[in-house]
Structure 1
Amino acid sequence: MFRKITSLTSFFSFIVLIITSVVLYIVPQGRVAYWADWTLLGLSKEQWNDIHICTGVLFIIISILHIWLNWKPILAYLKKKAGEANFTSPAFFISLIITLFVTFGALAGLPPMKQVLRFSQDFKAMGEAKFGIPPYGHAELSPLQIFCKRLGLDLEQAVTSIKKEGIELESTKKTIKSIADKAGLTPKEIHEIILKDQPDKKKSLKKTPATPNNEVQSHSPGAGIGRMSLEEYCAKFNLNLDTALNILREKGVVVDKDTPIKEIAKSLGLSSPRAIGELLNP
């Protein structure tokens, strides 16, 4: 009975882990998911992550029990004959090599791990394009008065704009998320409401060119720059790819269009991927 419960629990928790892994693989970046109040099947990214972590812990515990209950069969795989451990069999080495290849290949950016990670990044980039990027990290957790102060917005006008939409606002100390939740909106939609009656701010936002330096100012807590390939980076900031490659070669760094910005920054000894902007767009 105990053995059967262990096996079935291991199986079911493994199924749940597969589902949550797929969801977390395609979910937008945290800052985007929280800003747009992203959900899938009614669950937020945080809830999917909680399920993944707790089920993962369950799977680890059950796996340990499963190994303990099946220790003799496992040892049989590693033995050539009774009493002699077989750590030189083809099966042992092939299994070990596959595991190490995937583990270290992910760190080194080797195919197909590189393509798997890039595919996930593409999904997350689609999320950014669809839901937008918050003005700064966890902006949704800022009280309205702090939010307006950080963005240089008129607080009184922001309050007027919110109330004009029929949204109840008890205090400017309420966070953007709490205001949005009460109104049945997303933090992004509250931001758009606030901007409606602040034409000067809207105009300045539209006129601001998309350059690496502007990106740092408006999205300084990380806009995924490090994960972009050089080609994606140049396309985003209207830079010439060939010129960028030549500049990097002059600095002694030989890369290609698919090299991630964080790797280029590391090769140049830069403290942050964002510093690439000053180099490629002086």
Structure 2
Amino acid sequence: MSMRRIVSLTAFLSFLVTFLTSIILYIVPEGRVAYWADWRLWGLSKEEWGAIHINVGFLFLLSLLLHIYYNWKPIVTYLKNKAKQVSIFTKEFNAALVLTALFVFGTYFGVPPFSTIIHFGKSFKDAAAEKYGEPPYGHAELSSVKTFAKQMNIDLEKGMLLLRQAGYRVDSDAWTLKEIAEQNGVSPQQVFLAMSDAIQTAEQSVGLPEKPAPGAGNLTLADFCTQYHLNVKMIMRSLKDAGITSEADMTIKEIGEANQTGAIEVYEQIRSFADRSNEQ
């Protein structure tokens, strides 16, 4: 067997796998969405695709280093000038260096078309969040039933009863939603839906809730105001007074990004204005 051929073929095959996993990870939903909805592609979860990408990526790098070793003479030839003297900064090397630097700095400064590539991938993630739904809070699937019930204002006893009536095996309220989901072959989201009828409805409070609802950042300002019965023009004016520029068709998240702040800060500003309006 030829070691040189093995190295070259390994580099080629590992490149193909890395290329495939790169595309999948480019379009995969955000972690919070993927874990909540138990997102899978061809039977593999986000974590499993990520693990394959990392390990095969290491194989690709290793085979690439060996490939360079076995092809060192041709590479040195590429670095020779017309006088056949080794010169690192040949025209070809400079072109490769400029091209690489262009991608690095273009991405860093967020200029098109590099920013377009990033935003295009983000559109897949936003679409997935809309399709699969977002958890009530970050990594809710890791919360025990007891903790989750407290966070979501769920009657624990009734919630446990509903889970068992739905046919889910739950030995203890110390089990996390993820553990229940794995034991019963469902997603954490489905576990939540099974016990959602146990949510205790409190009296409708005036103003916005203290914490934004899941997915609020993906709502346009107009839709957000409609949902909470707010005047969009007055909200835009209040944001402007606070130094935040906005448009009705921009999402809360986009408004935050455009003003170099977070979506939660934009929400707090809107909530503050709504509270002041209710007091008047």
User: Structure 2 length normalisation: TM-score?
Assistant: 0.81
Match of 2:265 among 259, 272, 275: 275
Distance 2:142 2:100 in 1: 41
Partner of 1:237: 224
* 1:251 has 2:243 as partner: yes
Do 1:234 and 1:241's aligned partners in 2 also have CA atoms closer than 8 Å?
no
Note the residue ranges of structure 1 that are not aligned, 5 or more in a row.
none
**Structure 2 counterpart of 1:42, which letter?**
G
Alpha-carbon separation, structure 2, partners of 1:124 and 1:162: 30
1:264 alignment partner in structure 2: 258
The whole-number CA distance in structure 2 between the counterparts of 1:82 and 1:215 is 71
Distance of aligned partners of 1:147 and 1:237 in 2 relative to their CA distance in 1, 3 Å threshold: same
SS class of match (2:146): helix
For 2:121, give the aligned amino acid.
Answer: S
125 and 263 in structure 1: CA distance in 2 versus 1, 3 angstrom threshold: closer
Q: How many Å apart are 1:66 and its aligned residue?
A: 1.0
Match of 1:96 in 2: 97
- Which one-letter code corresponds to 1:274 in the other structure? I
Whole-Å Cα distance in 2 between the matches of residues 245 and 23 of structure 1?
42
Distance 1:252 1:215, change over 3 A: closer
Contact 1:6-1:62 within 8 A present in 2 as well: yes
| SS of match in other structure, 1:153 | coil
Match of 1:172 in 2: 173
**CA 1:278/1:179 → structure 2, altered by over 3 Å: closer, same or farther?**
closer
**2:171 aligned partner, one-letter code:** E
1:123 deviates by: 0.6
Change (3 A) 1:193 1:247: closer
* Residue of structure 2 in register with 1:109 after alignment: 110
Aligned residues: 263
Go from structure 1 to structure 2 and tell me whether the alpha carbon gap of 1:254 and 1:273 turns closer, same or farther (over 3 Å shift).
closer
The alpha-carbon distance between structure 1 residues 102 and 234, as it changes in their structure 2 partners (threshold 3 A), is farther
Letter in 2 for 1:276: V
Q: Deviations over 1:127-159 (max 9, x none)?
A: 111110001111111111111112221110110
Query: What letter matches 1:12 in structure 2?
Result: L
SS at match of 2:201: helix
Q: Secondary structure at the match of 2:137?
A: coil
- 1:157–1:198 Cα contact (<8 Å) kept: no
Q: 1:215 to 1:264 in 2, by over 3 A?
A: farther
**1:140, 1:175 within 8 Å by CA — same for their partners in 2?**
yes
8 Å contact from structure 1 (residues 265, 273) kept in 2: no
The answer on whether the counterparts of 2:39 and 2:45 sit within 8 Å (CA) in structure 1 is yes
For structure 1, which segment, 30-39 or 97-106, has the greater mean C-alpha deviation from structure 2 after superposition? 97-106
**Counterpart selection for 2:89 from 80, 87, 90:** 87
Per the TM alignment, residue 197 of structure 1 is displaced from its structure 2 partner at its CA by 3.7
Alpha-carbon spacing, 1:67–1:254, altered in 2? closer, same or farther (3 Å)? farther
Deviation at 1:166, TM superposition (A): 1.9
Q: Deviations over 1:199-244 (max 9, x none)?
A: 626xx7xx799x9x7594444xxx695xx7xxx7535534859985
Larger gyration radius, structure 1 or structure 2? 2
Correspondence for 1:54: 55
Query: How far apart, in 2, do the equivalents of 1:208 and 1:99 lie?
Result: 55
Q: Percent identity?
A: 35
Which runs of 4 or more aligned residues in structure 1 lie more than 6 Å from their structure 2 counterparts after TM superposition? 252-255
The superposition leaves residues 42-61 of structure 1 with CA deviations (integer Å, 9 ceiling, x where unpaired) of: 00000000000001111111
Deviation at 1:75, TM superposition (A): 1.6
Per-residue deviation, residues 61-96 of structure 1 (Å, max 9, x unmatched): 11111111111211211210333415141x222221
Q: Deviations over 1:185-204 (max 9, x none)?
A: 11101101111243626xx7
Q: CA deviation at 1:101?
A: 1.3
Q: Which residue matches 1:134?
A: 135
CA distance in 1 between partners of 2:135 and 2:167 (Å): 24
| Superposed CA RMSD | 3.3
Q: Distance in 1 between matches of 2:234 and 2:5?
A: 61
